Amino acid sequence: MEHVRLHEVSKFYGQVLAVDRLSLSINQGESVALLGPSGCGKTTTLNLLAGFLQPDGGTIRIADRDVAGLPPNKRNLGMVFQSYALFPHMTVAENVAFGLKLRRVESAERERRLKEALDMVRLGGFADRFPRQLSGGQQQRVALARAIIVQPDIMLYDEPLSNLDAKLREEMRSELLDIQDRIRITSIYVTHDQEEALALADRVAVMSNGCVEQIGTPDEVYEKPATGFVAKFLGESNVLPGTVARADGTSVVVDLGGHSVHCQTSERFSAGDRVEVVVRTERLAVSPERLSTDNCFKARLHHAIYLGGTIRYLVQLGDHRLIMVEKNRGDRAALSEGSEVYVGWPAKDSLLVKLP
């Protein structure tokens, strides 16, 4: 069942078009991530939903009701931001219960829900502390408990984990997943961190320049990018410009200037089309011996960078510098820099982007 619908919503700041006829539909209980580069309009979209901003065009419907002109406090939303925005002079308990007090929930009920909310974010023992006595991750949990306790219909998150260090971010990510599983509330999660979007959302809306380029499940947007922007924005890729030499149904051969690359695609291409072949760094293989895969080329290993869990290879293929990332299983002798190697990948891992 549809819960939130944005239909051709636009927003200007003066001359700047921040959101450009954006359409998006979110189902009841679904978690959707808005993912895109800085300045693409994610926060603006969230603020339009929350009612802090009014659209210059289009409509926003929540639970089948046009919310134009409806103030934020009448939309029953919970919000968690990058900055925790806790009240510094209030304890954790006072911060979390604040919304219930405003709503005049009686004190026994307030205590019960406070305990439940603090337990949910694993801060049971912290009720009497002040925000300054908490770590960043703990403060963010207080902000989350404060939003959840009022039982909002929809949760809006704007980069809630981006102030946390990498390890804590990972931890909070799985906690958020747990909490989402338990409360199953419609959630919109803004981030420019792709892993976070892929990990947390049922569907990911990839945005650029104020509109949604593609919306799909995490593996749809990653494996079947609908546009060149999505192909290049998600993951880490090698982008190789070339010209289509032959196209035969789903099978296309691209000339990179000396190297012929086999590609598989569901789109139509014809000989002479200018294209980019996009290959994710984790789909390439490098080896001292010839590889039995659709594309295999002799190349030179320029650099091998040891990163612990992975090894990153920089390989020179003609004019192209390829990056590839391999899992370090600890079972193979290091390839020596400067040596001749083979680099290869399957045709299905060559994403094709048509150039204008």
Q: Contacts with ligand ATP in 179-198 (CB under 6 A)? A: 192
43/265 with CB nearer Mg ion: 43
Annotate 120-150 with DSSP letters as a single string.
HTT-GGGTT--GGGS-HHHHHHHHHHHHHTT
The nearest distance, CB 230 to ligand ATP, in angstroms, is 16
CB of residue 48 vs ligand ATP: minimum separation in angstroms?
A: 9
Identity of the residue, 28 or 163, whose beta carbon is nearer to ligand ATP in the bound complex: 163
Give the CB-nearest residue to Mg ion: 43
The mark string for 91-130 relative to Mg ion (x by CB under 5 A, - otherwise) is: ----------------------------------------
CA distance 186 to 191: 16
Residues 6+ positions from 202 with CB-CB distance below 8 Å: 30, 31, 32, 217
Q: Is 264 exposed, middle or buried (0-12, 13-18, 19+ CB in 10 A)?
A: middle
The number of residues that bind ligand ATP (CB under 6 A) is 12
84, two tokens: 């925790």
Q: CB-wise, 43 or 187, nearer to Mg ion?
A: 43
Q: Which residue's CB is nearer to Mg ion, number 160 or number 228?
A: 160
The 43-62 site mask, x for binding Mg ion (CB under 5 A), equals x-------------------
Q: Could you give the string, one character per residue 5-44, with x where binding to ligand ATP holds by CB under 6 A and - elsewhere?
A: --------x--x-x-----------------x-xxxxxxx
From the list ligand ATP, Mg ion, none, pick the one residue 18 interacts with, judged by a Cβ distance below 5 to 8 Å according to partner type: ligand ATP
For the CB of residue 84, give the shortest distance to Mg ion in the complex, in Å: 16
Q: How far is the CB of 211 from ligand ATP (least distance, A)?
A: 12
Report in angstroms the alpha-carbon separations of 270 from 172, 245, 266, 279. 48, 8, 13, 20
> Could you identify the residue written with the tokens 């929809």?
154
Q: Are 311 and 324 in contact (CB under 8 A)?
A: no
Q: Which residues contact 258 (CB under 8 A, 6 or more apart)?
A: 318
Binding to ligand ATP (CB under 6 A): which residues in 237-276? Answer: none
> Looking up tokens 């747990």, which residue turns up?
178
Q: How far is the CB of 42 from Mg ion (least distance, A)?
A: 5
Question: How many positions of this chain bind Mg ion (CB under 5 A)?
Answer: 1
Residue 36 CB, shortest distance to ligand ATP, in Å, is 6
Q: Is 82 in the site for Mg ion (CB under 5 A)?
A: no
- Bridge partners, residue 341, by sequence: 299
- Distant-in-sequence, close-in-space partners of 51: CB < 8 Å, separation ≥ 6: 67, 70, 71, 72, 74, 75
Q: How far is the CB of 53 from ligand ATP (least distance, A)?
A: 9
**Dihedral through CA 133, CA 117, CA 184, CA 160, nearest 10?**
-10
Please report, as ranges, the residues that interact with ligand ATP according to CB under 6 A. 13, 16, 18, 36, 38-44, 192
Residues lying near Mg ion in the complex (CB under 5 A): 43
